[in-house]
Amino acid sequence: MDFEGAVFRKGTVTFTMRLQRDMSGIFRKGKQSMNDTKQDKQVVRSGFVAIVGKPNVGKSTLLNRLVGQKVAIVSNRPQTTRNRILGILTQDGCQLVFLDTPGLHRPRNRLGDYMVRQADSAVREVDLVLLVTEPTEQIDPVELSVLKRSAAPVVLVINKVDTVKREALLGVIAAYAAVHEFEAVLPISARTGEGVDELLSVLVQQMPEGPAFFPSDALTDQTERQLLAEFIREKALRILDKEVPHSVAVEIERFEQRETGTVHVSAVIYCERESHKGIIIGKGGAMLKRIASSARVDMERLLGCKVFLEVFVKVKQNWRESDAFLKNLGYTE
Ligand SMILES: Nc1nc2c(ncn2[C@@H]2O[C@H](COP(=O)(O)OP(=O)(O)OP(=O)(O)O)[C@@H](O)[C@H]2O)c(=O)[nH]1
Ligand SMILES: [Mg+2]
């Protein structure tokens, strides 16, 4: 599979090295140690695992839980994730490279087309597919079509078991077992962590023999700009109402680390209409202030230093239909 190449093209290697030099340990599990290379060599199994499913079933929550850190944003709105998000877990001689994907839905614009293609191609490029679902007996046609197209074995993950009684799961398992031969079926709660260790041991068993793709403490291939932009988008999704947050895109225009150790960030929130701009800014700027200050908390946690954040709002009409703008935002193959 050509994934390693793709990661190199995205500049991960330079990124990782720059982080090591500038802000050691940020997107890694701990500080670099002398044993790192030795640890990488201890990896005897490794593979890629796609996390797919309908929107809002908890794929990104699961990714964060699996890698032990927030690498993907989460909200209670469908279509939160727009890109493939890579999260890496290395433990006990095994490296699992997870690809979180946008929820499978019927696209209504070019952005939607792009999102669904991301999920679609992921299931054809990995060693194992995790189909994540909620405890419902209703199987969605998009789930059936992903099962059909998947080239790899599929593990069914029934998430959000904290919301139902155990007995209810039997019907769900039977409904899914009737449509596909799954490698395994695991009820879990990504929110509480229930069943996640069991899932991990199943995943490790399924991985082929092979060396590590990434250093043993690597967490994600996203750049700091991408992560910071996503934090702002997450707050917009959580704070704003109705359709407004779905038409939001975020770009980091400036990221500067000062000698004092503080980081200065300028960001732009793009929306599609003047009326949306007014809503995002809010009365006396109150809404924008809420979004920015809550994003800043996440940024400071990630970067481990004080962050000065300024956020502007601009209108970019119909950007979700613009190939050029989508490309500019990194929503491109
Ligand atoms: N009760 C409960 N809620 C959960 C669980 N896992 C995720 N959620 C909630 O479900 C909602 C959606 O979670 P996400 O992780 O963003 O879902 P997703 O599948 O990545 O969604 P898209 O990116 O839109 O496809 C959020 O409100 C989560 O807090 C769980 O195990 N139990
Ligand atoms: Mg998601």
Give the CATH number for residue 234. 3.30.300.20
One-letter amino acid of 266: S
pLDDT bracket for residue 28 (50, 70, 90) = low
pLDDT bracket for residue 242 (50, 70, 90) = confident
Q: Ligand 1 atom 12: the closest Cα is on which residue? A: 56
| Distance of alpha carbon 251 from alpha carbon 270, whole angstroms | 8
The distance of Cα 126 from the centroid of its chain, to the nearest Å, equals 16
94 plus 48 within the same structural domain: yes
Residue 3 included in any domain: no
Query: According to the model, what pLDDT value does residue 333 have?
Result: 78
14 vs 215, which has greater pLDDT? 215
Ligand 1 is surrounded, with C-beta below 6 A, by 55-61, 74-76, 78-81, 102-103, 159-160, 162-163, 189-191
Cα–ligand 1 centroid distance for 73 (angstroms): 10
Give the position, in ligand 1's atom list, of the atom nearest the Cα of 73.
16
34 plus 154 within the same structural domain: yes
155 plus 284 within the same structural domain: no
Q: Which ligand is nearest to the CA of 62?
A: 1
Residue 144 included in any domain: yes
Contact (Cβ atoms closer than 8 angstroms) between residue 131 and residue 148: no
139 plus 284 within the same structural domain: no
| Mean pLDDT value of segment 199-223 | 94
Exposure class string for 31-47: b at 16+ Cβ within 10 A, else e: eeeeeeeeebeebebbb
Q: Ligand 1 atom 6: the closest Cα is on which residue? A: 58
Cα–ligand 2 centroid distance for 35 (angstroms): 34
Domain limit, last residue, from 181, 198, 219: 219
3-class DSSP assignment, residue 71: coil
Q: Which ligand is nearest to the CA of 105?
A: 1
Task: Collect residues with CB below 5 Å from ion ligand 2.
Answer: 59-60, 80-81
Question: In terms of C-beta density within 10 A (0-12 exposed, 13-18 middle, 19 or more buried), how is residue 143 classed?
Answer: buried
Q: Ligand 1 atom 1: the closest Cα is on which residue? A: 160
The pTM (predicted TM-score) of the whole model is 0.90
260 plus 272 within the same structural domain: yes
Res 9 pLDDT > 90: no
Question: In terms of C-beta density within 10 A (0-12 exposed, 13-18 middle, 19 or more buried), how is residue 57 classed?
Answer: buried
Q: Ligand 1 atom 21: the closest Cα is on which residue? A: 56
123 plus 196 within the same structural domain: yes
208 plus 227 within the same structural domain: no
204 plus 277 within the same structural domain: no
Could you read off the pLDDT of 41-65 as tens digits, one per residue?
A: 788 999 999 999 999 999 999 999 9
| Mean pLDDT value of segment 68-74 | 94
| Mean pLDDT value of segment 180-196 | 97
Query: According to the model, what pLDDT value does residue 61 have?
Result: 98
Give the position, in ligand 1's atom list, of the atom nearest the Cα of 190.
31
Res 3 pLDDT > 60: no
Domain limit, last residue, from 203, 219, 235: 219
Residue 1 included in any domain: no
DSSP-H helix ranges across 140-283: 141-149, 167-177, 196-206, 224-239, 274-281
Query: According to the model, what pLDDT value does residue 36 have?
Result: 57
Residue 2 included in any domain: no
Pick from 25-34, 46-55, 56-65, 299-308: least confident: 25-34
Residue 178 included in any domain: yes
Q: Which ligand is nearest to the CA of 66?
A: 1
The distance of Cα 181 from the centroid of its chain, to the nearest Å, equals 27
Q: Ligand 1 atom 10: the closest Cα is on which residue? A: 58
Res 275 pLDDT > 50: yes
Query: According to the model, what pLDDT value does residue 151 have?
Result: 87
pLDDT bracket for residue 33 (50, 70, 90) = very low
From 57, 61, 81, 130, the mutation candidate for ligand 1 (largest count of ligand atoms within 8 A of CB) is 61
| Mean pLDDT value of segment 272-297 | 97
Query: According to the model, what pLDDT value does residue 39 have?
Result: 59
Q: Which of 6, 10, 249 is nearest to 126 (CA)?
A: 6
pLDDT bracket for residue 217 (50, 70, 90) = confident
The distance of Cα 164 from the centroid of its chain, to the nearest Å, equals 26
119 plus 233 within the same structural domain: no
Res 34 pLDDT > 90: no
Q: Ligand 1 atom 3: the closest Cα is on which residue? A: 160
From 65, 74, 162, 192, the mutation candidate for ligand 1 (largest count of ligand atoms within 8 A of CB) is 74
Residue 184 included in any domain: yes
Query: According to the model, what pLDDT value does residue 243 have?
Result: 84
Query: According to the model, what pLDDT value does residue 41 have?
Result: 73
Could you read off the pLDDT of 97-154 as tens digits, one per residue?
A: 999 999 999 999 999 999 999 999 999 999 999 999 999 999 999 999 999 999 899 9
The total of other beta-carbon atoms located within 10 Å of residue 257's CB is 14
Number of domains in the chain: 2
247 plus 185 within the same structural domain: no
First to last CA, the chain: 16
253 vs 241, which has greater pLDDT? 253
List the domain range (segments joined by +) for residue 266: 223-328
Residue 333 included in any domain: no
Res 15 pLDDT > 90: no
One-letter amino acid of 119: A
From 51, 52, 54, 57, the mutation candidate for ligand 1 (largest count of ligand atoms within 8 A of CB) is 57
Res 17 pLDDT > 90: no
CATH number at residue 87: 3.40.50.300
Summary mean pLDDT of the chain = 88
134 plus 254 within the same structural domain: no
